Amino acid sequence: MASEERVKASHILIKHEGSRRKASWKDPDGRVISTTSRDEAAAQLTDLREKIVSGQAQFDEIASRYSDCSSAKRGGDLGRFGRGQMQKPFEEAAFGLEVGEISGIVDTDSGVHIIKRTA
């Protein structure tokens, strides 16, 4: 089916000491990232997810402020992508969501994410 071939999604990425790249737009030298454990990153992301799900905050606003990905400048929007374009755990999570649904914590080599499927 065509709808399963490509999805559109946004995400929030929190990098940690195990991330493959320790720099981000908000931590260019990777100082904070290098001292953040995976569990600390996941806990922060869980708190942010709860604020979004409870209606206290908007996904794009949280992404713009907290995400370590350069997509933060677009509210976390990654645009459309097909299978084989993202890391496998990310791809599986994004394709497994319904439009408007927000994932739980997704681990990749880049860090921990929450993903919102937008189309």
- Residue 57, domain CATH: 3.10.50.40
Active site (annotated) includes residue 67: no
The yes-or-no answer on residue 87 being catalytic is yes
Percent of the chain with pLDDT strictly greater than 90: 96
pLDDT at position 56, please? 98
Is residue 106's pLDDT more than 70? yes
Q: Which of 10, 24, 67, 110 is catalytic?
A: 110
pLDDT of residue 5 exceeding 90, the answer is no
Count of domains in the chain? Answer: 1
Total residues belonging to the chain: 119
Full domain range(s) for residue 34: 2-117
What are residue 117's DSSP bridge partners? 9
On average, the pLDDT of the chain sits at 95
From the CB of residue 23, how many other CB atoms can be counted at a distance below 10 Å? 15
- What pLDDT does 67 receive? 98
CA distances from 65 to 3, 44, 68, 71, 97 (A): 31, 13, 9, 11, 24
Catalytic annotation, pick one of 67, 69, 71, 103:
69
Percent of the chain whose pLDDT exceeds 70 = 97
pLDDT value for 59: 98
Catalytic residue from among 11, 16, 24, 103: 11
44 is catalytic: no
56-92 per-position pLDDT tens digit: 999 999 999 999 999 999 999 999 999 999 999 999 9
Taking the C-alpha atoms of residue 87 and residue 108, their distance in angstroms, rounded to an integer, is 7
Catalytic site residue 71?
Answer: no
Please state the rounded mean pLDDT for residues 8-17.
Answer: 98
Residue 2's pLDDT is 47
SS3 84: coil
